[in-house]
Structure 1
Amino acid sequence: MITLAIHVEESHGSRVVLESGALQKSRHYLGHLGEHRKTALITDARVSALYLKPVMNALAIPASGLLVLEVAEGENSKSFSTLNELAGSLAQKRFGRGDLIIALGGGVILDLAGFLASIYMRGIRYISIPTTLLAQADVCVGGKVAVNHAGGRNLLGNFHHPEMVLVDPNFLKSLDERDLKSGLAEVVKAGIIGDETLFQLCETRLDDVLRHTMDQWDEIITRALRVKKRIIEKDEKEKDLRMTLNLGHTLGHALETATHFRLLRHGEAVALGMHAAALIARHRGLLSPRGLGRIRSVISTLLPDNAWKTTPNTTILDAMKLDKKKRFDRVPFILPKQVGEVATIWDVDRTEIAAALDEVKKHGPQDI
């Protein structure tokens, strides 16, 4: 068992437990939360079919004592309308500040349920049980919770940390190749930002991951979470240092918005964004040819199919205008200097980004 404590100055932080088989021990791990009158479990239909009964059995919660709220699978459920429906269900059952929300699922569910917990009665407790690699290696810690808006991804959001996160790599056995690749993009991102050993694991073990023969899940997930932990403990509210966690996300979020959240998984968009960032960094002389080659070699395995490439560059660039990090009409770009080190650059212009997009569009999966 691996335990991480996330300490942040402005809120209570989180305790993360990572262990294969953690689900079966969840009642033991969650005992410190104390008594609560009501529990709501928020999930999607796919995760519910796979894991609802095992979770209920592990937590020893009778069906009569649990409000199960299912939403549709996919990014479109991260909406204000879905949020409103969930809040209405809690209000109808008279949930109060002493009650508990459990988020069971991937990044969409963790974002949605966490945001609901942050605003319902000005904040109630919640715990996260992430079931995808993307959620286990990234989304589950940091306190960022949000829903999407027509104007952009995660446009309506808050900071609200789960009291407890249970990370069980056994959940990953049910993921298909596309979901694994999406999650690996966030793992690769963490390696580029601040852990060369993690990046080297990605360089050498990607095939094992995709064949479900990986035997180092605990190390990979823990290393990714520790990169994020080091950063958010110094800068919880993204005043400066935490921006580095957005490597690949400035363009990635714009790609998701420009394609209406239909063509790309989040990790796929991030992989495309990291590819573009590496190209811009090389063009500016920040990244060596060898560094670019290493990054592109790993990312080539994670790239999506070509459907997104019909989206005009102008549409993608316009979608960046609502980036939450924008200050004085400038959007920061996180660019790699080498594997394990990045820089925040404020003067990347549309011409540079468009040129990088043109180059990215020339390549598909595994042909870089």
Structure 2
Amino acid sequence: MTFQTLELQLQGHSYPIHIGSGVLSNTVLFQRALKGQRRVAIVTNETVAPYYLDTLVKTLGGCECTPTAIVLPDGEKYKNWETLNLIFDGLLKQACDRKTPIIALGGGVIGDMAGFAAATYQRGVPFIQVPTTLLSQVDSSVGGKTAINHPLGKNMVGAFYQPDAVIADTDTLRTLPDRELAAGLAEVVKYGALGNLPFFEWIEANIDLLVARDPDALQKAILQSCKDKASIVEQDEKEVGIRAWLNLGHTFGHAIESGLGYGAWLHGEAVAAGMIMAATVSQLMGLIPEADVQRLKQLLVRCGLPVVGPKLGAARYIELMSLDKKVESGKIRFVLLEQLGRAVIRSDVPNVLLTQAIEMCCE
């Protein structure tokens, strides 16, 4: 078993992020995360449970823990109040108290819902992230954002609630469908594009290894992505400033997900198309050259990701984006690129230019 650890340090709350092969079976890491608790609730889904639930239960048994499993349906379309209540039902039926840790075993949907349940059950219980998809390992499991979707907007109901530990086993990526792997690579590319040009160049040089699931390349990509995210979150935990950079491509991407219906496109797919829209807006505003847009597009294509958005119509995109969490005083705040490798937040994008960019980027 080989793994690396980094620490996310916040005022009043810090936690380790363990990344590597075999950590799902590492009793010592879970003992530290559980802090002596003997009861634990595992939240997972019908897809992940057959692969990894037994392994986690066995590991917890080595910690002298008695786990209870809450198995949810799989898919973005279930990220709602009804499914969240299934978690509360399971916790209450098993008489879980406010010291019972919740472990999220799964991808971003499970992590977001289990985290929101942990933030609100009995006003807050301990929480451990065990992400099993590339997207959740590089992004959603780190930083404490938890939420469910609303029919009018993605992740509109939630809370900032930091985990006590993130334990990311890269071996789980072996069973990940190719489409899900590509969706995770969108977030990896995002980190390079928004704030780390050397990382972006490394991804360009190693994309074939990443797509082929080379273990060393994947571990390096995950570790660097988490380092970049941790650095930003440490400076801005509640997204009042630079943490918004992490939403590069997301304002457009969330509009795609909401407009098509949750689950039609994977989150990473929508973010990939959204990044090209954001880059195109950046180009039209004179911030970056067209060559940078093409460079980003070529890398995303090599990841196996869409770079053209669905034709919802510019008016519909703008309507959906007006409900985005980054809207302030009626103005949409866009994460753009002032150069490849450096993001900037702008709220002065003219509607005419925005409409032009959307029409250029949609089929």
TM-score range, shorter chain: over 0.9
Change (3 A) 1:64 1:28: closer
CA distance, structure 2, for counterparts of residue 41 and residue 102 of structure 1: 5
Paired AA for residue 235 in structure 2: K
Kindly report which structure 2 residues correspond to 1:237-252, keeping only aligned pairs within 5 A, or say none: 237-252=238-253
Change (3 A) 1:53 1:328: same
TM-score relative to the length of structure 2: 0.94
Q: From 6, 9, 18, give the equivalent of 1:7.
A: 9
Change (3 A) 1:285 1:291: same
Q: Work out whether 1:304 is the aligned partner of 2:303.
A: no
Residue-by-residue CA offset, 1:314-348 (whole Å, 9 max, x unaligned): 22221112111111001111111222211111112
CA distance, structure 2, for counterparts of residue 259 and residue 232 of structure 1: 30
Quote the offset at 1:226 in angstroms: 1.0
Quote the offset at 1:63 in angstroms: 11
Deviates more, 1:74-83 or 1:195-204: 195-204
**Counterpart of 1:258?**
259
Kindly report which structure 2 residues correspond to 1:211-226, keeping only aligned pairs within 5 A, or say none: 211-213=212-214, 215-226=216-227
CA distance, structure 1, for counterparts of residue 63 and residue 213 of structure 2: 34
CA distance, structure 1, for counterparts of residue 352 and residue 76 of structure 2: 30
Quote the offset at 1:124 in angstroms: 0.2
Paired AA for residue 131 in structure 1: T
Paired AA for residue 304 in structure 1: P
Deviates more, 1:69-78 or 1:102-111: 69-78
**Counterpart of 2:29?**
29
Quote the offset at 1:311 in angstroms: 2.5
TM-score relative to the length of structure 1: 0.93
SS in 2 for 1:155: strand
Contact between 2:75 and 2:263, CA under 8 Å: does it hold in 1?
no
CA distance, structure 1, for counterparts of residue 202 and residue 111 of structure 2: 27
CA distance, structure 1, for counterparts of residue 142 and residue 263 of structure 2: 26
Quote the offset at 1:73 in angstroms: 0.8
**Counterpart of 1:365?**
none
Residue-by-residue CA offset, 1:97-126 (whole Å, 9 max, x unaligned): 111111000000000000000000110001
Residue-by-residue CA offset, 1:114-170 (whole Å, 9 max, x unaligned): 000000011000101100000000111110000001120001010111101111111
Change (3 A) 1:62 1:12: closer
Paired AA for residue 7 in structure 2: A
Kindly report which structure 2 residues correspond to 1:267-346, keeping only aligned pairs within 5 A, or say none: 267-301=268-302, 302-304=304-306, 309-346=310-347
Contact between 2:272 and 2:307, CA under 8 Å: does it hold in 1?
no
CA distance, structure 2, for counterparts of residue 18 and residue 210 of structure 1: 19
Q: Work out whether 1:57 is the aligned partner of 2:76.
A: no
Q: Work out whether 1:75 is the aligned partner of 2:84.
A: no
Q: What is the RMSD of the two structures over their aligned residues, measured on CA atoms?
A: 1.9
CA distance, structure 1, for counterparts of residue 275 and residue 143 of structure 2: 21
SS in 2 for 1:274: helix
Change (3 A) 1:67 1:61: farther
Paired AA for residue 323 in structure 2: L
Unaligned residue ranges in structure 1 (runs of 5+): 363-368
